[in-house]
Amino acid sequence: MSWRKHVTPPQHGRRRRQAGPSSRKRMVVVVGLLGLTSLGLVARAFDLQVVRKQFYQSQGEARFLREMQIPVSRGTIFDRNGEPLAVSTPVMSIWANPSEVLDNDERIPQLAQALGVDAGELKEQLAKRSDREFVYLRRQMAPAAAQTVLDLGIPGINGLREFKRYYPSGEVTSHVLGFTNIDDRGQEGLELAYDDWLAGKPGAKRVIRDRMGHVVEDVEQIRAPKPGQNLTLSIDRRIQFLAYSELKNTLEKSQADSGSIVVLDVKTGEVLAMVNLPTYNPNALSDSKPGQRRNRAMTDVLEPGSTVKPILMAAALSSGKFTPTSPIIDTTGGHWYFQGHDIHDTHNYGLLTPTGVITKSSNVGAAHIAMALDTTLMYDTYRAFGLGDSTESGFPGEASGHLRIGRDWRPLEKAILGYGYGLNVTVLQLANAYATIADGGVMHSPTFIKGNDNNAKQIISPEVSQQLLRMMETVTGPGSTGTTARIANYSVAGKTGTAHKASAGGYAKSNYTAAFAGIVPASNPRLVGVVVVDNPQKGSYYGGTVSGPVFAKVMEGALRLLDVPPDNIGRWYVGGPLQSPDGLVGNKAPVDAPIDDAPIDEDTP
């Protein structure tokens, strides 16, 4: 048998067919996979574009679409003559996205240098707030300084436009105006009282930001900004500055603890000036203490002492039991021992008319008058003049003072109330009471807003008002307690007051409140001024000698600034209204009458 018969030839064709799928099958697979992929893409696109379109749009907008506040300027505060007292200036605040800044931490030292802070502290601050997207790094920078920081181009660093309050008059008007916080919202004074009026309402807009936080497009305005409205005050900056200067000089000379001045327009009740010392600079608030920011004329109370005697006399004249010249009151000896208490004068004034009680500031005479009055009438008169009640000025934190209900008065308390102890008032309350006397017995609610309509009501009759003015005019006449409050060529009606300050267990022997309250011109009242100096330590402590000169200098300047014509040219060169047992002698002293211009000591309890 041949060997070829036993050898099987190789099957080359069959093996090639079994090596894998044919090209046709491979094509089918590829096409199928492409089809499935396309279908998946279509399905995914449908899901993204239709089914979950709203969700993904909101997610995208959350990352790049932002709602930004449109800052608005706070309204300007003007004085009555249009001079700016508080203005808002544009500033820039620097803020950061901490995580983005930390991703470029090699640039933090450069950022810290531009901001003027320590690099280590800045990095630590950013690390603590890395979970946030917005962190202030520095507020209210000058625009040029802030732009220097932004020009560094550090990722995550952005600027925000804001406004900062500036007070051109500084400490002179600080207690009236108050101040705002870093967010430009009122915190004290009229800035707080009229915050809604001044602040306005910020607008809002929707913008697109890139991943660096930069605004690349404004999409739409959501809410239009509404700038704050301007406010014109009754304050006259010129009189305010004059009052500040004179009060400051007096406090420095007398080494007093504090002082206040209030000047009112008689016909309207508008506050033309209100000054307190110590004071503070609202442009450098961090340098001040809380006690310096207190508007003492509104928030602090004092016992008015003898400055309350004209109000007592208003009750006396209204009762019909007294006239300016009768009855004669016996103050002989200068002491009245009443219910175990020594009511005394510093001099023995003998027999006095009611006018004489005002002229000489007799505590004994005032106590006798108080005890002769019906308690209800006396209490109602004190209350009608606003003692123990708010003036309704609208100033934040205004104190109402204190006056006990009349039915609870004990006899000794009633006598002491006649010369200004046992009650508390604010400086504004006292000024408003004198303005009521000056305006024919009509009381106005004090206001800090120029031209503001306020309540007015008749408190006492015009006749009583005129009688009181003539009686109070003698206080600045020869031999009285207020000669230092005279103003050349103008008649002045007023009253001095020197009161011991209350202390634990009674009254301090060497601590006083020196006050003067006056009206000018007395013949046709235009202005009322009250000056209070607390605890003068050097020189005199009497109201006439400490506060009287301040009143005269401030009012003299105010009358000139307001062009109020003189009413008393040359009158005091030959003397003034004199007091005798028979009453008022007249407007001029006899030629041969001695003229004593030295102020007498004023009575204290």
Tens digit of pLDDT for each residue in 474-511? Answer: 999 988 889 999 999 999 999 999 998 887 777 877 88
- pLDDT of residue 194 exceeding 70: yes
Between these two residues, 240 and 574, which has the higher pLDDT value?
Answer: 240
| Confidence grade of residue 25 (pLDDT, cut at 50, 70, 90) | confident
**Residue partners of 272: CB distance under 8 A and separation at least 6:** 80, 234, 235, 236, 239, 240, 263, 264, 265, 527, 558
Q: Give the model's pLDDT for residue 162.
A: 87
- For β-strands 231-232 and 77-78, DSSP reports them as parallel
- Segments in 186-272 forming alpha helices (H): 189-193, 195-199, 237-254
Average pLDDT over residues 370-389: 96
Arithmetic mean of pLDDT, 240-268: 97
18: confidence class by pLDDT, cuts 50, 70, 90: low
Average the pLDDT over 210-232 and give the result: 72
Percentage of the residues of the chain whose pLDDT score is greater than 90: 59
Given a cut of 50, is residue 223 above it in pLDDT? Answer: yes
For CA atoms 39, 41, 44, 48, give the dihedral sign: negative
C-beta neighbour count of 262 within 10 angstroms: 29
Has residue 561 got a pLDDT over 50? Answer: yes
Q: Are 147 and 157 in contact (CB under 8 A)?
A: no
Q: Check residue 3 and give its pLDDT.
A: 47
From first CA to last CA, the distance across the chain in angstroms is 163
Evaluate if residue 590 carries a pLDDT over 80: no
378: nearest Cα among 435, 443, 444, 321: 321
Over residues 160-174, mean pLDDT: 93
Mean pLDDT across the stretch 511-540? 95
- The CB density around residue 125, as the number of other CB atoms within 10 Å, is 15
Q: Mean of the pLDDT values across residues 345-366?
A: 94
What confidence category does residue 225 fall into, taking pLDDT thresholds of 50, 70 and 90? confident
Q: How confident is the model at residue 211 (pLDDT cuts 50, 70, 90)?
A: low
592 pLDDT exceeds 60?
Answer: no
pLDDT of residue 56: 60
Q: Is pLDDT of 583 > 70?
A: no
Please report which confidence band the pLDDT of residue 315 belongs to, taking 50, 70 and 90 as the band edges.
Answer: very high
pLDDT-based confidence at 35, cuts 50/70/90? confident
Mean pLDDT for 25-37 is 82
User: Which three-class secondary structure string do you get for 305-357?
Assistant: HHHHHHHHHHHHHHHCCCECCECCEECCCCEEEECCEEEECCCCCCEECHHHH
Which amino acid, one-letter code, is at 599? P
Specify the higher pLDDT residue, 211 or 267.
Answer: 267
pLDDT for position 317: 97
pLDDT at 220: 61
- Give residue 444's pLDDT: 95
Q: What residues act catalytically? A: 306
250 half-sphere exposure, CB direction, 13 A CA radius: 35
- For residue 313, the model assigns a pLDDT of 98
Q: Would you state the pLDDT for residue 576?
A: 45
Mean pLDDT within 125-149: 88
The whole-number average pLDDT for the span 531-542 is 94
> In whole numbers, what is the pLDDT of the chain averaged over residues?
86
Half-sphere CA count of 81, side-chain side, radius 13 A: 9
Q: What are phi and psi of 338, to 5 degrees?
A: -125, 115
Cα separations in angstroms, 23 against 15, 244, 515: 16, 105, 116
Mean pLDDT score, 234-250: 98
Token readout for 565 is 């014509």
Mean pLDDT of 59-75: 67
What's 292's DSSP letter?
G
* Structure letter (DSSP) for residue 5: G
Mean pLDDT is lowest, of 45-59, 98-112, 458-472, 479-493, for 45-59
CA angle 262–266–270, rounded 5-degree value: 60
Interval 264-277 mean pLDDT: 97
Phi-psi region of 534 (alpha: psi -120 to 50; beta: other; left: phi over 0): beta
Q: Which of 25-29, 93-97, 277-281 is modeled with the greatest confidence?
A: 277-281
**C-alpha to C-alpha distance for 109 and 120, rounded to whole angstroms:** 8
pLDDT at 23: 80
CB 494 within 8 A of CB 517: yes
Report the pLDDT value the prediction gives residue 198, as an integer from 0 to 100.
95
pLDDT at 8 over 80: no
On whether the CB atoms of residues 362 and 331 are closer than 8 A, the answer is yes
- Asked if residue 107 lies in contact with residue 58, where contact means CB atoms within 8 angstroms, the answer is no
pLDDT at 226: 87
pLDDT of residue 354: 97
Alpha-carbon 551 to chain mean position:
23
Report the alpha-carbon distance of residue 74 to residue 174 in Å, rounded: 17
DSSP state of 213: S
Show the tokens assigned to 244.
């500040």
**Has residue 586 got a pLDDT over 50?**
no
In this prediction, what percent of the chain has a pLDDT beyond 70?
84
